[in-house]
Amino acid sequence: MPVNVETVIFFLLAAMAIGAAVGLLLSRNAVHSALFLVLNFAVVSVFFLFLAAPFIAMVQVTVYAGAIMVLFLFVIMLLGAELLRGGASGRWHSALAVVLAAGFVGVLGYVAFFSGIAPEALPNVDAGFGGPQLLGMDLFQTYLLPFELTSLLLLVAMIGAVVLTRDARTRSAAGPGARP
């Protein structure tokens, strides 16, 4: 691999991403863990920028780091579940974790170095690749049905959340169709 500025930046960012992930796992405070996860998401979005996918990078920050993690933090703070109790997990937990992690690293290494599936280098892409225009064309022409189905699914989930959070009093007053 030629050593240029991009390579240096890549390894710096990779170290940050791994550091954030380790911090997320090791910290005993749920709020700190959530913040490490936000940092991880931010670094991953920079990786998307490197891969010529600016749209996905921005959506990654807006949706995951911005919206979803704020809700996570909200829940952690409101429930007062910041501090984890130590020593709850048994010894077989860590043993299992080590075995699974070793297996995962093995599969990754096989795919990356021996299988021949992984590309040697990133292919050169046209200008405009990964930009909003091409992505929109693909989403709304080639993949229109999956896109609309996903939005329907999200709508159902949203309505479900609204219905579940209404308490019994307002539900009985809502109409004859509502459960008592």
Q: Which residues bind another protein (CB under 8 A)?
A: 4-5, 29, 31-32, 35, 38, 54-55, 57-59, 61-62, 65-67, 70-71, 73-74, 77-78, 128, 131-133
Alpha carbon distances (Å) from 70 to 31, 65, 66, 75, 78? 11, 8, 6, 9, 12
Residue length of the chain: 180
Nearer to another protein, 109 or 128 (CB): 128
Minimum distance from CB of 124 to another protein (Å)?
A: 15
Nearer CB in complex with another protein: 21/135: 135
User: Of 15, 13, 69, 18, whose CA–CA distance to 46 is shortest?
Assistant: 13
**CB-wise, 29 or 142, nearer to another protein?**
29
Q: Which is nearer to another protein, 21 or 82 (CB)?
A: 82
The smaller minimum CB distance to another protein, of residues 13 and 59, is found at 59
CB 180 to another protein: min, Å: 20
154: left (phi over 0), alpha (psi -120 to 50) or beta: alpha
The alpha carbon dihedral of 57, 60, 62, 66 has a sign of negative
Q: Closest approach of Cβ 122 to another protein, in Å?
A: 16
Structure tokens belonging to residue 43 = 């670094």
CB within 8 Å of 75: residues ≥ 6 apart = 81
What's the closest the beta carbon of residue 97 comes to another protein, in angstroms? 27
Shortest Cβ 113–another protein spacing (Å):
28
